Amino acid sequence: MELRPYQNEARESIHKEWAAGNKKTLLVLPTGCGKTIVFSKVIEDRVRLGERVLVLAHRSELLDQASDKLLQATGLQTSLEKAESTSLGSWNRVVVGSVQTLQQPKRLAKFKPDHFDSIVVDEAHHCISDGYQRVLSYFDGANVLGVTATPDRGDMKNLGTYFDSLAYEYTLPKAIREGYLSPIKALTIPLSLDLVGVGMSQGDFKASDVGTALDPYLKQIAEEMKQHCMDKKTVVFLPLVKTSQKFRDILNSKGFKAAEVNGESKDRAEVLEAFERGDYNVLCNSMLLTEGWDCPSVDCVVVLRPTKVRALYSQMVGRGTRLFPGKTHLLLLDFLWHTEKHELCRPAHLIAENEEVAKAMVAKTEEQTGVKLDLDDLEAAAKEDVTAQREEALANKLAEMRKRKRKLVDPLQFEMSIHAEDLTSYVPAFGWEMEKPTEKQKITLEKLSIFPDEIDSAGKAQKMIERLTKRQAEGLTTPKQIRFLEQRGFRDVGMWPFEAALNMINRIAANGWRIPRGVVAKDYKPENVNV
C-alpha cells in the first residue's frame, strides 16, 4: 500500500524521535487522514527489527479496526489480549490489547516488564487516565507512540505531562486544502439554547443536565433540520439515550427516515449497515459513534451535545469529514448555545490557530445566521480582522507610550542633570538586583516623574527611588522642573532648591512662557546656590 506524502513524513518522524531518545512520542492526524495506516506501517518497521509490539485501545471496535488494517496494509497477523483471549504462547509479534483487561494486576503479572519493545496507544487523548497509566508504567522500557486526532484533553491534563515530544502533526485545514478531507461549511441556526443551569462534571457539561435543558427545543431543532438536512445523510449527536430516541421519533414525524443506536442496541450492526445503504437518512446516537465508526458518505453533522472538550468535538465532526464520490462538502449545523461562564467548542475551534482568531470567527458566524459559511474562507477573513485589530492596538499603545514619555523624564537625562555618577555607571551585583524592575517599582518611579521603561534592573530602580526620595526630603528640584528649565537653556538645575525652580517657572509662565527680560538662562544662578 502506497502512503500519502504526509503519512510517509509521519512514519519517518516517529522513528527519528525514538532514535533520538524521545521514547514517548505523539502523532496528531485529523479523523479520516489514515492514522491506523500510519501506525500499521510503523509497526511493520518495528517487527522487521525483531520487536514485539502492543496496540492498546479501550474499545473493541478500535481493536478490530487495528487488526484488520494491519492485516490489509502489512500482512501481519495479530493476537488478542482481552477477557478470556490471551496472546501468551502465540508466535505473532503484534498484540492488540484491551486496556480494561491489561490494567488488571493479575493479567499484567503474566507478562515480563520488557515483553513489549514498542506500544501504540490508539486515541491517545485517553492515555492519561489511570487505567492506561497502569499498563504503560508497567512496560516502562518500551517506546510509546500515542495517536490522536487532537492534542488536548477535557480534564485539562495536557498530553505533554506524559509524552516527550510531538513527532508529527497534520492539521485539519491543511488536509482540506490538500484535498484529503472534505471542506466544511458551518450553518449557524438562530436558535438560542439556554445552558445556564447546566452543571459540570469532569471538566465538561453533565450529560443528564444537558438532556433536560435540550428537551424543550427538540421540535424546533427538527424544524430547522427539515429546512437544511432533508436531502443530507446526517449524524446527530445527543447527550442521553432517551433524548436520542425521543429526537428520532420527532424527526420521523417530520418526514425523515431516522434511526437510533446506543450501547445496548442488539441490532446496532444491522442499523449501521442500513444507514450506510441509505435505508435511513438520519442516525441519532448518544455519543456512541465518536470513535471507531466510519461512514464516508455522511455529509451533515448535527452536534446537540455541547462540549468544552475539543477532542470530543473534533471526533463528532470527524464522522463527516471523509471524502466520498459526489460529496462536495460537510454541512455542520451550529446552534447559539447560551452559557454564562463556559466557552463552548464551536466550528471555528476546528481550524483556528489561536483563541483570538476563533473568537473572531464565532462572531462572524453569529452575525450571519442562516448562511452556509466555508470555514477556510471564514478563518482567512477572521485572521485579517485580528491582524488589523492588533495593528490598531499596537499603534494606540505606541501613541500612549509616546504620550507617557513626553510627560515623564528620561532617567539618563535626570542622572546627568544631578551629576549622579553612581547612577550613570551603576552595574547590578546581586541576583535580585539583576532582575527586571517590579511593577511596584515602576509605579513609584512614574509617581516621581521618571519614565520606568528605560531602567533595566531592579537594583537600578531601587537606587533611583532612594535618590529621588532623598532629594524630596532635602527640598531639591524635581525631575520635571529640571527638564523644563534645562530645555530653556538653564544650567545645573539639578542643584537648585525646589522653591527657586518653582519661582523661575512661575515667572516664565507669567511672561507668556517666555524667559523674563534681563534673565540670561545659561548664566542664571539662583541666590545662595553654589554651582
Tell me how crowded residue 426 is: count the other CB atoms within 10 A of its CB.
17
CA-based nearest residue to 312, from 330, 290, 294: 290
DSSP for residue 345: P
Angle at 474 between CA 468 and CA 478, to 5 degrees: 45
pLDDT of residue 154: 42
Long-range contact pairs involving 155-158 (C-beta distance under 8 Å, separation at least 24)? 155/128, 155/202, 155/203, 156/203, 157/128
Instruction: For the chain, list the domains and their CATH numbers.
Output: 5-170 (3.40.50.300), 177-387 (3.40.50.300), 411-523 (no CATH)
Q: Are 451 and 404 in contact (CB under 8 A)?
A: yes
pLDDT for position 410: 86
pTM exceeds 0.95: no
**Assigned C-alpha cell, 220:** 424546533
State which residues of the chain have pLDDT below 70: 150-158, 340-342, 398, 401, 529-531
